[in-house]
Amino acid sequence: LTPPGEWGADIVVGTTQRFGIPMGFGGPHAAFFATKEEYKRSIPGRIIGVTIDSHGDYALRMALQTREQHIRRDKATSNICTAQALLAIMAGFYAAYHGPKGLKAIAERTHGLAVSLASTLKGLGYEQLNSAYFDTIRFDLGDLKGGIHSGCLDNEINLNYVGNVATISIDETTTFEDIALIAKIFAKVKAVAADQVEVVENVETVIPSALQRTSEYLTHPIFNSHHSEHEMLRYIKSLEAKDLSLCHSMIALGSCTMKLNATAEMIPVTWSHFGRIHPFAPADQVLGYYSVFNELDKWLSEITGFAAMSLQPNAGAQGEYAGLMVIRAYHHDRGDFHRNVALIPASAHGTNPASAAMADMKIVVVKSLENGNIDVEDLKAKAELHKDNLSCLMVTYPSTHGVFEESIIEICETIHANGGQVYMDGANMNAQVGLTSPANIGADVCHLNLHKTFCIPHGGGGPGMGPIGVAKHLVPYLPGHAVVDIDKGKSISAVSSAPWGSASILIISHAYIAMMGAEGLTNATKYAILNANYMKARLEQHYPVLYSG
Residue 463: is the preceding peptide bond cis (ω within 30°)?
yes
Is the same domain home to 327 and 444? yes
Return d(Cα 379, Cα 364) in angstroms, integer: 10
What is the enclosing helix (H) or strand (E) of 257? none
What pLDDT is stored for residue 416 in this prediction? 99
Burial class (CB in 10 A: 0-12, 13-18, 19+), 529: middle
Cβ atoms of 465 and 509 closer than 8 Å: yes
Query: Which amino acid, one-letter code, is at 174?
Result: T
Q: Is residue 161 included in any domain, yes or no?
A: yes
Within 10 angstroms of residue 238's Cβ, the number of other Cβ atoms is 9
How many angstroms from the chain centroid is the CA of residue 419?
A: 32
What does R_g of the chain's alpha carbons equal in angstroms? 26
Does 269 fall in a domain? no
| Secondary element (H or E) of residue 421 | strand 421-425
Q: How many residues belong to the chain?
A: 549
We report the CATH number of the domain holding residue 468 as 3.40.640.10
The whole-number pLDDT of residue 372 equals: 86
> Is position 253 within any domain?
no
Name residues whose C-beta falls within 8 Å of residue 104's C-beta, 6 or more positions apart in sequence.
none
- In this prediction, residue 474 carries a pLDDT of 99
Whether the Cβ atoms of residue 288 and residue 510 lie closer than 8 Å to each other: no
Instruction: Output the pLDDT for position 82.
Output: 81
CA pair distance 135, 119, nearest whole angstrom: 13
CATH number at residue 168: 3.90.1150.10
**Is residue 205 assigned to a domain?**
yes
C-alpha span between 300 and 469 (Å, rounded): 8
pLDDT the model gives residue 317: 92
DSSP designation for 38: G
- 342 and 198 within one domain: no
Q: What DSSP designation does 429 have?
A: G
Interhelix angle 376-385/408-417, nearest 10 degrees: 10
Position 478 in a domain? yes
Nearest 5°: phi and psi at 21?
Answer: -115, 130
pLDDT of residue 256: 58
Q: Note whether residue 218 is domain-resident.
A: no
Helix axes 176-188, 85-123, angle to 10 degrees: 40
d(CA 420, CA 327): 9
- Is the bond leading into 268 cis (omega within 30 degrees of zero)? no
- 199 and 314 share a domain? no
pLDDT at 66: 78
Average pLDDT in the chain: 94
Tell me: do 505 and 357 sit in the same domain: yes
Question: What total of structural domains would you count in the chain?
Answer: 2
d(CA 381, CA 385): 6
- Residue 50 pairs in a beta bridge with 60
Instruction: Give the structural domain span for 482.
Output: 305-530
Which portions of the chain are predicted below pLDDT 70? 251-258
Last residue of a domain, one of 180, 211, 242: 211
Inside any domain, residue 77: no
Q: Is residue 462 part of a domain?
A: yes
CB count, 10 Å around CB of 24?
26
Do 379 and 521 reside in the same domain of the chain?
Answer: yes
* pLDDT tens per residue across span 398-430: 998 888 999 999 999 999 999 999 999 999 999
